[in-house]
Amino acid sequence: MVGLKDYWTSQTYIPKSLSSRGNASLYGNSLYYNSYTQQYGSYYISKPNVKFEIRLFDTKSGQVAWLTSALTEGNAFADYNTLASSLAKKVVKKLIEENMLKLTITDDKSVPASAKENIIVTEPLNQLPIANFTTNFRIGAVPLKVSFNASNSYDPDGNIISYIWDFKDGSTGSGKILNHTFNSSGSFKVELIVTDNKGAKASAIKLIIVKS
């Protein structure tokens, strides 16, 4: 499934250029020359820009097996429907080339026996978890005690089994919800790393500013 996330139109300027052509004719002792100059460019063309989200579903479970996004643009003669159709075909072709997707025939009554032998059913791919967290403070004075809550993190096709924190002040922690006190001033890009039940990882970073 290809879903539309955002779209806009950008303009490209075609610079002005001149092209001159001519021909010469000789009549007796006289040379005659005719020429003309043609102008090109000096105008704008509009190009469609589209941000797509591509989801690959497992037909058996109904779960999303693969998720990605893409930013694509066309030329002055393309429209949004053309971009969507072209992207969908390219995504499927690329997945097949990388052995991430194999087409199967669901209604095989009319399929010859020799063709049925080549049908392969693949397991759905593991989706990456989504890392996210909230804090009660983003800025404050030393010592700054901050509560971190990763309850908004989730795994689309499983569950998160690990929450690891790096507070970037030399301290680390674990758990979905915890407190940490910053005892020195500075800017700390706190990082949360979550791991799902199949080993996939994702991270989120937020800046904490501690004043002296």
pLDDT tier for residue 107 given thresholds of 50, 70 and 90: low
Q: What is the pLDDT of residue 78?
A: 65
* Strand boundaries in the chain, DSSP class E: 2-14, 17-27, 30-40, 43-57, 64-73, 134-135, 139-141, 144-149, 160-166, 172-174, 177-182, 186-196, 201-211
In the block, residue with structure tokens 């995504």: 91
Q: 64-73 and 17-27 as β-strands: parallel, antiparallel, unpaired?
A: unpaired
Question: If you search the block for the tokens 């004043």, which residue do you land on?
Answer: 211
**Tens-place pLDDT, residues 61-71:** 777 777 777 77
Of the candidates 163, 172, 169, the residue with the CA atom closest to the CA atom of residue 194: 163
The amino acid present at 24, given as its one-letter code, is A
Class of domain 134-211: mainly beta
Q: Where are the domains of the chain?
A: 2-97, 134-211
Mean pLDDT over 164-188 rounds to 96
Confidence of residue 193 (pLDDT cuts 50, 70, 90): very high
The larger pLDDT score, comparing residue 194 to residue 77, is at 194
pTM of the model: 0.46
The stretches of 52-201 forming alpha helices (DSSP H) are: 80-97, 113-116
pLDDT of 10 strictly over 80:
no
How confident is residue 141, by pLDDT bands cut at 50, 70 and 90?
very high
49: β partners: 8, 73
Indicate the pLDDT class of residue 122, thresholds 50, 70 and 90. very low
CB 190 within 8 A of CB 183: no
Answer yes or no: is pLDDT of 199 > 70: yes
Q: Residue 139's pLDDT is what? A: 94
Compute the mean pLDDT over every residue in the chain, rounded to the nearest whole number.
80
Looking at residue 160, its amino acid is I
pLDDT of residue 60: 73
Contact status, residue 182 vs residue 188, Cβ threshold 8 Å = yes
Segment 151-172 shows an average pLDDT of 94
> What φ, ψ does residue 60 adopt, rounded to 5°?
-75, -50
